[in-house]
Structure 1
């Protein structure tokens, strides 16, 4: 095994291999959760007309208002704009309607009293020029940038795309990811469990962490610890995927064949071993066609920690998603120092003032995935450093 590298050096080495993803066009309703790959400009001024903001009446403001406003008409949302010619009259109006010509004030229905002859202003009425009118172009002018590439399409982005007539949107293509569990001891979830065997769980956990991050559905595979089997299967996966995420077979055991098998297929090792716990044996390489291969330790906690710290950010960066700094949370209790960087599972709690805190959860070892139940992710503690209660640490969510 090569000398261990630091957590930051490992992340930088992976980042240096990032290649911009190809793009594709999808229908707007299929774009939820995708990463935008085009600039979006305002189709026209927003709002496109002087827009009424309250139900009530549209009127012309006067320094001395008449005691009674006679009704000269009605204008609902979606109707073409009308006009007011007599300042002693009003037009009944609805939220979202076009402001009628000749009007410069909206009085809400709550400030009016309906009479047989029209509307009388209540004592609480506060008419003022321009009130409750959303002026044309006050949000943005036609052609103004409203969305930039590199954002994930959620509810606000979807509203902006729809409001500006983007029926088909250009997004980053999701990576073709194969998640591979290796090991003779593994059996499928629904199979009978013989003595000395365990059920496959790592590949499903890794798949879930990728899918919930908007990276699409990974293909799942199980390979035995046999060099000839590994060589043939890995060659096929490299030919059909641009990213391989492997679990197991990368440490120093007699049947840890993966590093040699990958390098025999032309995958160039970038590093093997990170100065951290858990997850020290992680291996990373780049294939002959630029495929990225993340070979993670087989212990469940180790594999999941490495995926959320290294694999998932790398895949999201490849799709052009603008990076965000890690969330920082204060610790509920102190943590001791250790020579290697540490990733400690935490639950989210509240301190006496109601502020969010990270509560460390003891894990007996890197195979103790039962300890992850109820945790939100792991906090990262630098090599050789302890942390006091209240100190803020970066949180990597599952």
Structure 2
């Protein structure tokens, strides 16, 4: 369709409007969900010395099949105070340092101890070096454990701590304001007059933003008044990195966001995307603040937030890969041919197959309850049979 931007071009232009925010140092214990702004380099070997991987006895493999004389014991956290000589064994526990002279750990289940005498009763270790975690077997000092742009999940936090980090340098959390618009919208739980509906978009977007590192202000609501919306945008731009408006993005007589952006002294970068739902999407700037105008139907707001708002926040927070990854699965049922816009169809992945919901009405919220995928149907795509492989974006 003439004048409509492709989704990828719109995403690229949106992310190019502003560089990631400044970095800050935080305690590693506070880093969950953040994005690194510099590499994490290991300052130590892990393990720092050979360790026992099991409870048993440290021995010389050359002394197999025994018997041995037990000469001591080593627990985790204690340094060995003796070496293992010919015919000797030292009781050792999981995580304890291997004493000098030993090159193998024999499992406690494979031996019998009577006083200081130790005899083989099972199969034994089989090969030299069994049940030992070698020094630097996980990583060595100087290794790059985590690259800049990495999302800090539980595993990344554990690795950084093991590498010696007590704090990490991460991108700042973008300050986000949510501004919903519409005369017909009423605060959740309030009584409704004829023609009114509950305002679900503000709370929905706040919930979606909880999955990314952002400081989100309580949703603000404005009636369909261009001057009021412009004044709100101008004020919010003073204190926030991103303003996300919901509703009023189209061309109707009561759609004022584009005009209000101009009135607030902002600059429009692009408007209207070759996608469905979500065609009337607005992106612009007010000084250093970014404005993203989402359409007002809940389904449209959800889809455009997934494709544009969340990637924008991840980008500003320092993510190396802010866009949602494309996955693939077979279609559970036939899919009709595509039209003039790319479709993002609410679906669920069940039994490793994509099941598209019967209704794709962007005004409905019930499909969002069970949807965990957006099935992608390209512009002009031919009809596809059940079992054909299709692209999708996970939205769980």
Give the TM bin, normalised by the shorter chain: over 0.9
Unaligned runs of 5+ in 1: 351-355
Superposition pairs of residues 46-57 of structure 1, within 5 angstroms: 46-57=46-57
Superposition pairs of residues 327-366 of structure 1, within 5 angstroms: 327-337=327-337, 338-350=339-351, 356-363=352-359, 365-366=361-362
* Residues 284, 292 of structure 2: 8 Å contact kept: yes
Counterpart of 2:376 in structure 1 is 380
Three-state SS of the structure 2 residue aligned to 1:20 is: coil
Counterpart of 1:39 in structure 2 is 39
**What's the offset of the Cα at 1:107?**
0.2
**What's the offset of the Cα at 1:396?**
4.3
Identify the range of structure 1 (40-49 vs 10-19) with the bigger mean alpha-carbon deviation. 10-19
CA distance in 2: counterparts of 1:19 and 1:180, whole angstroms = 23
* Residues 107, 125 of structure 2: 8 Å contact kept: no
CA distance in 2: counterparts of 1:336 and 1:371, whole angstroms = 19
Q: Paired residues, what number?
A: 390
Three-state SS of the structure 1 residue aligned to 2:159 is: helix
**What's the offset of the Cα at 1:58?**
0.5
Unaligned runs of 5+ in 2: none
**What's the offset of the Cα at 1:54?**
1.0
Counterpart of 1:246 in structure 2 is 245
Match of 1:310 among 297, 308, 320: 308
CA distance in 2: counterparts of 1:314 and 1:326, whole angstroms = 17
* Residues 275, 341 of structure 1: 8 Å contact kept: yes
Seen in structure 2, the aligned counterparts of structure 1 residues 70 and 192 have a Cα distance that, compared at 3 Å, is: same
Counterpart of 2:260 in structure 1 is 261
**What's the offset of the Cα at 1:280?**
1.2
CA distance in 1: counterparts of 2:325 and 2:49, whole angstroms = 40
Counterpart of 1:5 in structure 2 is 5
Counterpart of 2:87 in structure 1 is 88
Counterpart of 2:28 in structure 1 is 28
Identify the range of structure 1 (161-170 vs 173-182) with the bigger mean alpha-carbon deviation. 161-170
TM, length-normalised to structure 1: 0.93
* Residues 211, 218 of structure 1: 8 Å contact kept: no
Counterpart of 1:395 in structure 2 is 393
Three-state SS of the structure 1 residue aligned to 2:318 is: coil
TM, length-normalised to structure 2: 0.93
**What's the offset of the Cα at 1:159?**
0.9
Counterpart of 1:196 in structure 2 is 195
CA distance in 1: counterparts of 2:208 and 2:128, whole angstroms = 54
**What's the offset of the Cα at 1:64?**
5.0
Q: Deviations over 1:126-159 (max 9, x none)?
A: 3532221222223333222111111111111111
Q: Deviations over 1:227-273 (max 9, x none)?
A: 22112111101111110111111112111111111012222112211
CA RMSD of aligned residues (A): 1.8
CA distance in 2: counterparts of 1:364 and 1:95, whole angstroms = 56
Three-state SS of the structure 2 residue aligned to 1:339 is: coil
Superposition pairs of residues 93-104 of structure 1, within 5 angstroms: 93-104=92-103
CA distance in 1: counterparts of 2:101 and 2:189, whole angstroms = 73
Seen in structure 2, the aligned counterparts of structure 1 residues 55 and 257 have a Cα distance that, compared at 3 Å, is: same
Three-state SS of the structure 2 residue aligned to 1:255 is: coil
Counterpart of 2:288 in structure 1 is 290
CA distance in 1: counterparts of 2:309 and 2:385, whole angstroms = 29
Identify the range of structure 1 (215-224 vs 36-45) with the bigger mean alpha-carbon deviation. 215-224
Counterpart of 2:229 in structure 1 is 230
